[in-house]
Each structure stands twice: as structure tokens, then as C-alpha cells.
Amino acid sequence: MVFRLKVNYVHDFNQKTEEEFLNIQNNLKEKINVTNKIDLGNIKVCAGIDIAYWEKNNETIGACSIVIIDFQTKKVLEKVHSVGKIEVPYIAGFLAFRELPLILEAVEKITVEPDIFIFDGNGYLHHNNMGIAAHAGLFLNRPTIGVGKTYFKIDKVDFIMPENEVGAYTDIVVKNKVYGRAVRTSKSVKPIFISCGNNIDLNSCYEIAMNLLSKDSRIPIPTRLADLETHVLRQEYR
């Protein structure tokens, strides 16, 4: 029997204004769970998600790539993608409304069941705790992790640079609440920014990310492969 992930559509995508986006975030953020619902010893399959954009005939086109790998061997098990017109412009803080339709379209093509999804973007590390990994986690019914390559300040709070050793980290604390973690995944290379998506805690996010590194990149293997695949898709569909 072929696996199909049942998406939980917690809202539609008819919203057009920042006020509507914010209302949905405020309604959903209390449902985000940053406690652990996964046994790290039982993780077998991991999915990485990334999106690339380009302009065509005065329209923005997006390509979403999902690459699924074996957690132990790091072997690629499946690649799926979706391509389509992006209906929502980039608005800081509301990335999910721009990207989720393409992500969910790609997710529905998956035939290998992931235990966890890793996103090239933030999760709880967001001014409203509703970055793409957190928001998407409510749709996917799976633990999700956000891994950002750059840091966007929350309430003007900067992060503390981790020591220059692999695995060193500092937690990002805003108003006495931990939002995420700056992590050094390679010596003398800029840190990445890890945060919970949904149904997972920060320490587990950190452990999983550190177990998915290679010498080729500072970001976890699944999102690195998804990123590389979006470049291929962009060339193909352009």
C-alpha cells in the first residue's frame, strides 16, 4: 500500500491582507507544541524542504523541493516537487502564507513516510512564534524543525555568537523565553539558527540537526539536498 500523508488543513489560503495573516497566526500559535513527541532512537526517515523563486512574464514562480533520506545511512529515498505561481508577495513575518500552498502540494506526492520534516527557515524563532516550520507543522501532523541560515532580530534582541567549536551553541532568549538556538556546525563558519517547529523540543531539534551534518555544508543534509534540487528545478522550468 502506497503511503500518502493526510494533510490537516487548519485554514484555507484565501487571505490577502496582513491583518488576516496576523489573525490566523494569533489563532494558531497557542496550538504549537514545543514538547517532545518523537523518540530520537526510533527516527528512520527524515524530509528536507526548500523553495526557490524566479520571475517569468512579470509573475513570481516558485519551486518546492522535498528530499527524503534515511536517517542512519543518509541515502536519498525519494524526491518530490511542485512548481507554480506565487500568489502572495514577500511580507516579513508571514512567509508561510506565501510558501505553504506549494509545500502542501509537494507533500501530497510523498510515498515514503517521513518521521520528521526539516525546513529551510524558522519555526518558533519568529516574532509571533509562527515561522514556516511551526505553521507547517500544524498541517503535517509530524514533528517539524526550522533551520535558518540567517538571523532576523526579534524585539531588537541579537543572538550571542557561539564559541568557535563544532556543536557549540547559545540559546536565543527574548523576554525570558527561549525562541531558538544559534549553533556552530562547522569551525570558523557562521552559525545556523535552529528552532522548534511543532511537536518537538529544542534539545531534540539540536540533536537531530547535529546528526544530519556532513563536511560539505553547515546546514543539515536534507535541507541542503532540497536546496540543491531547487536550483535544478529552477533551471529546468525556466
Give the span between the Cα atoms of 49 and 221, in whole angstroms.
11
Q: Which residues pair with 86 in a beta bridge?
A: none
Q: Is 155 annotated as a binding residue?
A: no
* Residue at 5 is within a domain: no
Q: Is 120 assigned a ligand-binding role in the annotation? A: yes
Q: Which residues have C-beta within 8 Å of that of residue 12, sequence separation ≥ 6?
A: none
Give the domain extent around 198: 18-237
Mean pLDDT of all residues in 58-75: 97
- For the chain, how long is the longest CA-to-CA vector? 50
Instruction: Answer whether residue 13 is part of any domain.
Output: no
Task: Quickly state the pLDDT bin for 4 (edges 50, 70, 90).
Answer: confident
Sign of the Cα torsion 139, 146, 209, 213 reads positive
What Cα–Cα distance (Å) separates residue 149 from each residue in 4, 45, 68, 202, 222?
30, 23, 20, 17, 14
The domain that holds 209 is classified in CATH as 3.30.2170.10
Domain count, the chain: 1
Report if residue 1 sits inside a domain. no
Is residue 1 predicted with pLDDT exceeding 80? no
Is 7 within the bounds of a domain?
no
% of the chain residues with pLDDT over 70:
100
Q: What is the mean pLDDT of residues 33-56?
A: 93
**4 within a domain of the structure (yes/no):** no
In a domain, 179, yes or no: yes
Residues 6+ apart with CB under 8 A from 50: 64, 65, 119, 120, 223, 226, 227, 229, 230
What is the predicted pLDDT for the residue at 3? 86
Question: pLDDT digit string (tens) for 163-205?
Answer: 999 999 999 999 999 999 999 999 999 999 999 999 999 999 9
- pLDDT, residue 215, reads 87
Q: What's the average model confidence in pLDDT over 124-141?
A: 97
Q: What is the pLDDT of residues 82-131, one digit of tens each?
A: 999 999 999 999 999 999 999 999 999 999 999 999 999 999 999 999 99
On whether residue 232 sits in a domain, the answer given is: yes
Average pLDDT of the chain?
A: 95
- Note whether 155 and 126 are within 8 A (CB): no
The string of pLDDT tens digits covering residues 11-40 is 999 998 999 999 999 999 999 999 988 888
* Residue 230 falls inside a structural domain: yes
- Average pLDDT on 130-139 reads 97
pLDDT value at residue 93: 94
